[in-house]
Chains A and B, each alone.
Chain A
Amino acid sequence: MVTNFDLTEEQQAVRDTVRRFARERIAPIAAERDRTGEFPRETIQELAEMGILGIGFPEEDGGSGGDTLSYILAVEELSRVDGSHGITLAAHCSLGVWPIHAFGTPEQKARYMPKLCSGEYLSSFGLTEPDAGSDAGGTRTTAVLDGDEWVLNGAKQFITNASYSGVLVITAKTERTASGSRGISAFLVETDAPGFELGKKEDKLGLRASDTRALSFQDCRIPKDALLGELHRGFPLFMKTLDGGRISIAALALGIGQSALDAAVPYSMQRRQFGQPICEFEMIQSHLAEMQTEITAARHLTYHAARLKDAGRRHTLESAMAKYYAATVTMKATTLAIQILGGYGYTKDYPVERYFRDAKLCEIGEGTSEIQKIVIARELVKLYA
């Protein structure tokens, strides 16, 4: 907004186009969809027609082109108006499409990438299980080879976009005797596979218009060539996937944090108490100054992580820092926005309570803040080793 962040003309064009779309098409429905929890199929379809569901993937794979930073700007701008749209795009691109793009065989890419990038269907990533959240090594879903087919058994939890996906990337234990994170493989499961079932739709605190469901596999049979990446080597695959995914959750947080400022600053200029606008009171100034500084710092961290990924450089540390920090400051910014709006902020007549509820997910999804700190500390120790 104030700083230019050295975006290229193309990145600015993507940001401006998505910003305008979000203002004109999403803003009018955001509050209502938060209330009803209805998935915004129409606007996601419009984004698909604009090529946004294939952003960051090369045209030869069926993608729309553009770099990671352009994609991050798109997630941020959607989230600035509605976090549910932001997370839908983030989960689709980073968690669903990216592993297929990065680890798929030419056949797998040809089969799925064009459909995913054109928005014919969405995709999801099934890692979390009822008993395996932060501890991905605790995966209990199993895959056993039976002739030409893998047979899957188990359950997944909190899977974003599941109802609208045509194909899922899931993890399953393929080597029973291996312990911890070893012996896990990744698979591509088409949602019409026999034995696959969608579970209940979660009734969530925030991001209520995004689709989050449990999944189950009961003797679910998928072809032998549905293995994604190397057998038993799924753990590094999804760790790399999450490295990218975390940048997009940082962008989700940034968008929500910016929306808190967008609401709080004009309100503080217009609301008068004791004969003056409240933005002239030092304690309100303190809140606004912290919000602006911290959101700007989070934006620098997030764009930096995206640029490292674009340069093909390692970004585990940077994406974990971006996600951890952006989530933390956004939770704080949305809390302060409610504080600045006072009683009005606590009601559904103003949008800040929605931002506050939506922000909380950023501290939990795709690795909790606690997990991010573990990643950051481990990477840090490596730097000094």
Chain B
Amino acid sequence: MKIAVCVKQVPSSEARVQLAADGKSVALADAEMVVNPYDEFAVEEALRIKEARGGGEVIVVSVGPESAQAEVRKCLAMGADRGIVVQDPALLGGDGLSTARILAAVLAELQPDLVLCGKLTIDVESDLVAVGLAELLGLPHAALVTHIEWTGERTLRARREIEGGREVVELGLPALISVEKGINEPRYASLKGIMAAKRKPIEVARPDLPAERVGPGAAGVRVVAVAPPPERTGGRKFAGEAEVIVSQVVELLRSEAKVL
């Protein structure tokens, strides 16, 4: 089975990011870059499927700057077999749909049996790529999946976390699944994995896509402003008898904070 996993290089959630001078983006400067955590769940799931079946191929596909190869290499160190990156600056800088079109061009050629994605990337959180990609490739899609159970060689049941409950859906391959936290606990790369990753191939793909379909010019959605969250204001302290305070707090939660 050929499994493609889409991964993105993102700043670590602990990185201190600052507003860039243009007011529309963030300056990453020296931020520590990592594999998007949800994509890491997808890589782990792909490796587990391959291991359980005793064979197959796991291919990591990434769209991003040249430095994103380091994140692809991390996935290879976990055990993925090879990588494909799209790093042509002319193709980058678009919106989520633009990224989905680039990935679709790569995957259309690759013809994987299963495509795994993270449910979102923690940098822009547009939640567009997985669903856009499934649409462009014409694949059945299950989102927010926390468990995959194989019911046959090419059929599976996916458990989805939905508001207030769970839903189980059945899909046949080829399919696209976007995974949610909780599906697995990603492994740490082993030393042997790190050594082996050096020798695994990373191919630079150059999909032929017209400028009006991808890149900044094709973006249907443009970011016009980015602002830091409002500074936290000091809390309020209540003193006195517990019974009195509790009713005061409840009243204020209702009238001021309006959360009750």
Binding site for B on A (CB under 8 A): 9-10, 13-14, 17, 20-21, 46, 49-52, 54-55, 59, 64-66, 70
B74 and A13 form a contact (CB under 8 A): yes
Stretch at the interface among B79-87, B107-115, B194-202, B213-221: B194-202
Is there an interface contact between B192 and A64, defined as CB atoms closer than 8 Å? yes
Cα distance A46–B191 when bound, in Å? 12
What is the bound-complex CA distance between A41 and B77, given in angstroms?
Answer: 25
Which residues of the partner chain A approach B141 to less than 8 Å between Cβ atoms? Answer: none
**Closest Cβ–Cβ distance, residue B181 to chain A (whole Å):** 14
B188 touches A10 (CB 8 A): no
B189 in the interface (beta carbon within 8 A): yes
- Measured between beta carbons, the chain A residues less than 8 angstroms from B195 are 10, 64-66
Within the complex, the shortest CB–CB distance from A113 to chain B, in Å, comes to: 15
Interface residue count for B (Cβ, 8 Å)? 13
A17 to B192: give the CA distance in the assembly, Å. 12
The total of interchain contacts (Cβ-Cβ below 8 angstroms) comes to 44
Type the 1/0 row for B68-82, where 1 means its CB is closer than 8 Å to any CB of A: 001001100100000
Q: Which of B171-193 contact A (CB under 8 A)?
A: 188-192
A to B CB contacts below 8 Å, 9 in the list: A9-B70, A13-B74, A13-B189, A14-B194, A21-B188, A50-B188, A51-B190, A59-B192, A64-B190
Closest to A16 in B: B74
Q: Provided the pairs A65-B195, A66-B195 are in contact, do residues A13 and B77 lie with their beta carbons within 8 angstroms? A: yes
Q: Hey, which chain A residues are within 8 Å of B198, CB to CB?
A: 9-10
Given contacts A10-B198, A50-B189, 15 further A-B contacts (CB under 8 A): A13-B77, A14-B194, A17-B188, A17-B194, A20-B188, A46-B188, A49-B190, A50-B188, A51-B190, A59-B192, A64-B190, A65-B192, A66-B194, A66-B195, A70-B191
Chain A contacts for B70, CB-based, 8 A: 9
Shortest Cβ gap from A77 to chain B (Å)? 12
CB-nearest residue of chain B relative to A51?
B191
Q: Are A51 and B192 interface neighbours, CB within 8 A?
A: yes
Cα–Cα, bound, A46→B188 (Å): 9
Q: Which residues of A contact B189 (CB under 8 A)?
A: 13, 17, 50
Chain B contacts with A in 57-74, Cβ cutoff 8 A:
70, 73-74
Minimum CB–CB distance for A58 against chain B, Å: 11
Dominant SS among interface residues on chain A: helix
Distance in Å from the Cβ of A239 to the closest Cβ of chain B?
29
The list of the 10 closest CB pairs from A to B, nearest first, reads A51-B191, A64-B191, A51-B190, A13-B194, A50-B190, A65-B195, A17-B189, A21-B188, A51-B192, A50-B188
B190 to chain A, nearest CB (A): 5
Q: Which residues of B contact A17 (CB under 8 A)?
A: 77, 188-189, 194
B138 smallest CB distance to A (angstroms):
38
Take A9-B198, A10-B198 as given contacts and tell me if A55 and B191 are in contact as well, using a CB distance cutoff of 8 Å: yes
**What is the bound-complex CA distance between A55 and B191, given in angstroms?**
7
Which residues of the other chain, A, contact B194 by a CB distance below 8 angstroms? 10, 13-14, 17, 66
Query: Contacts A9-B198, A10-B198, A13-B197 given: A52-B73 contact, CB under 8 Å?
Result: no
Q: How many angstroms from the CA of A64 to the CA of B189 in the assembled complex?
A: 12
Which residues of A are found within 8 Å of B188, using beta-carbon distances?
17, 20-21, 46, 50
Nearest-CB distance from B196 to chain A (Å)?
A: 10
A46–B189 alpha-carbon span in the complex (Å): 11
Partner of A54, one of B73, B77, B191, B197: B191
B124 shortest CB reach to chain A, Å: 23
Complex alpha-carbon distance, A52 and B190, angstroms: 8
**Chain B residues whose C-beta falls within 8 Å of the C-beta of A50 in the assembled complex:** 188-191
A46: chain B residues within 8 A (beta carbon): 188
Q: Which residues of B contact A52 (CB under 8 A)?
A: 191
A14 to B195, CA, bound (A): 9
- The residue of chain A having its C-beta at the shortest distance from the C-beta of B196 within the complex is A65
Bound together, the chains give a CA A340 to CA B75 distance in angstroms of 41
For residue A51, which residues in chain B have a CB less than 8 angstroms away from its CB?
190-192
Alpha-carbon gap, A46 to B195, bound state (A): 18
Task: Tell me, in angstroms, the Cα distance from A21 to B194 when the chains sit together.
Answer: 14
Give the nearest-CB partner of B12 in chain A. Answer: A20
Residues in A whose Cβ lies below 8 Å from that of B191: 14, 50-52, 54-55, 64-66, 70
Minimal Cβ-Cβ distance residue in B for A53: B191
Establish whether residues A9 and B190, one from each chain, have CB atoms under 8 Å apart when the complex forms.
Answer: no
CA gap between A20 and B189 in the complex, in Å? 10
Q: Which chain B residues border A55 with CB–CB below 8 Å? A: 191
Taking the closest CB of chain A, its distance from the CB of B90, in whole angstroms, is: 27
Closest approach, in angstroms, between the C-beta of A48 and any C-beta of chain B? 10
In this complex, the member of B74, B189, B194 whose beta carbon has the largest number of chain A beta carbons within 10 angstroms is: B194
Q: Which residue of the partner chain A has the closest CB to B32?
A: A16
Give, as a whole number of angstroms, the nearest-CB distance from B15 to chain A. Answer: 14
Residue of B nearest to A64 (CB): B191
Expressed in whole angstroms, the Cα–Cα distance for A64 and B191 within the complex equals 6
Q: How far is the CB of B36 from the nearest CB of chain A, in Å?
A: 15
Q: How far is the CA of A17 from the CA of B184 in the complex (A)?
A: 18
- Distance A21 CA – B77 CA, assembled complex (angstroms): 15
Give Cα A14–Cα B189 distance, bound, in whole angstroms.
Answer: 9
A65: chain B residues at CB < 8 Å are 191-192, 195
Q: Which A residues touch B74, using CB under 8 A? A: 13
Residues of A within 8 Å of B192, CB to CB, are: 51, 59, 64-65
**Residue on B with the closest CB to A19?**
B32
Complex contacts, A49 vs chain B, CB 8 Å: 190
Q: Smallest CB-CB separation from B78: which chain A residue?
A: A17
CA distance A50 to B77 in the complex (A): 11
